[in-house]
Amino acid sequence: MAKRLLQGNEAVLLGAVKAGATYFAGYPISPSSEILMAASVYAASHPEFRFLQEEDEIASANAIIGASLAGAKSFTATSGPGFSLMQEAIGYAHKLRVPTVFVDVQRVGPATGMPTMPGQGDILQTRYGSSGDYTSIVFYPSSVAECYEYTIHAFNCAEESESPVILLSDAFLGHLNEVVDLDTIQVPVVPRTLEPLASGHTRLFSGVATYPDGEPATADGDEFIRQYEESKALRLQVAERYAFYEYGWNKDSDTLVIAFGITRRIAQPLAPYFALFRPIRIWPVLQDQLREIAARYKRLVVIEGSDGQYASVVERVLYRDVYRVPLLGGRMSLEAVREGLDRIGLLPRELAETAVS
């Protein structure tokens, strides 16, 4: 097929369809709504693909869990405030071990915030947003072609890890139009493994702690830990097969820039001056790769669209200080990157001169 101009949000829908998704439920919210609209248009000519515009994000998140249990690969798409409303259901999907995909096209929060401006402030919410302990798997592409590619990976990984996988995007990436040739992206699709409801079993899919026979296990710590460790081990093991990252730019520099999603694209002019580490699998943290690569560099700089959410994770993993360049208030631009580097005394002279001219 020929090259085409495609938007990041539309690429997510196409990736989902390619991965075998047959159910979408969602609620309109900027800047993710193109996914919902594209899903409704796709459903109109593909009866096997079911679409429901729900009354809210709570219904959407629970509906995709029900649809997945019924046998459909399912997904939803939202942004910060809606993603917050979905957190309880995400914990529920973790507890049930249901494969499904949540897409979060980030904007500037908290609360209603700046609905059309890009942000990256949901990094920790994707890991710790629901109550209790669970093991999240999260991917964050940085181009339209990658929106397509990693949506397929997200569905595959959800099937293998038996968990809700999160695909991060942002207002900038979701609305970015780029020329892509999707036929050059070949990702094998992992088929469904979970036996659908009404296959002749009497299973109990319970958010409450229960024994395998359905009896309440609400006061049995040993049973809780057994189930928790089993789920955690499966997710960590599967995540190893999805350890996507990019390491490049000027590897001989003494400074390593860490940036992901659209921020890595914005920071492209830094390529001659710094090395780059871009995690694509945001969670679980790529700690082995990060430790090995970071050890080669004198300085680490995390450039991100939040006030240090990922920087704090890097510091915790590496036990060393990092420089921070937070891009706040939707100011995700090269100018903001320059200002941030200048503030910490790391702006390359040539870039400063370009800025002046």
5 makes contact with another protein (CB under 8 A): no
Under the binding rule (CB under 8 A), the answer on residue 90 touching another protein is: no
92 makes contact with another protein (CB under 8 A): yes
Report, in Å, the least distance between residue 62 CB and another protein.
4
User: Are the CB atoms for 26 and 77 separated by under 8 Å?
Assistant: yes
One of 3, 4, 203, 251 touching another protein (CB under 8 A): 203
Phi, psi of 23 (to 5 degrees): -145, 130
Q: ∠ CA(275), CA(281), CA(282), 5° rounding?
A: 85
Please state the closest distance from residue 242 (CB atom) to another protein, in A.
Answer: 27
Q: Does 210 bind another protein (CB under 8 A)?
A: yes
**Please, which residue, 177 or 218, has the CB nearer to another protein?**
218
Q: Is 81 in the site for another protein (CB under 8 A)?
A: no
The answer to whether 337 and 276 have CB atoms below 8 angstroms apart is no
Contact 179, 40 (CB under 8 A): no
**Residue placing its CB nearer to another protein in the complex, 63 or 123:** 63
Candidates 27, 51, 140, 148; binder of another protein (CB under 8 A) is 51
Distance of CA 192 to the CA centre of its chain: 21
Q: Pick from 7, 9, 22, 309: which binds another protein (CB under 8 A)?
A: 22
Nearest to 168 by CA among 146, 190, 184, 186: 146
Q: Of 66 and 81, which has the nearer Cβ to another protein?
A: 66
**Overall residue count recorded for the chain in this entry:** 357
For residues 23 and 43, what is the distance between their CA atoms, to the nearest angstrom?
Answer: 9
Phi and psi of 184, rounded to 5°? -80, -10
Determine if 248 is a binding residue for another protein (CB under 8 A): no
Return the ∠ at Cα 222 (arms to 219 and 226), rounded to 5°. Answer: 120
Question: What is the smallest separation between the CB atom of 338 and another protein, expressed in angstroms?
Answer: 46
Give the binding site for another protein (CB under 8 A). 22-23, 25, 40-41, 43-47, 49-56, 58-60, 62-67, 69-72, 74, 88-89, 92, 196-208, 210, 213-216
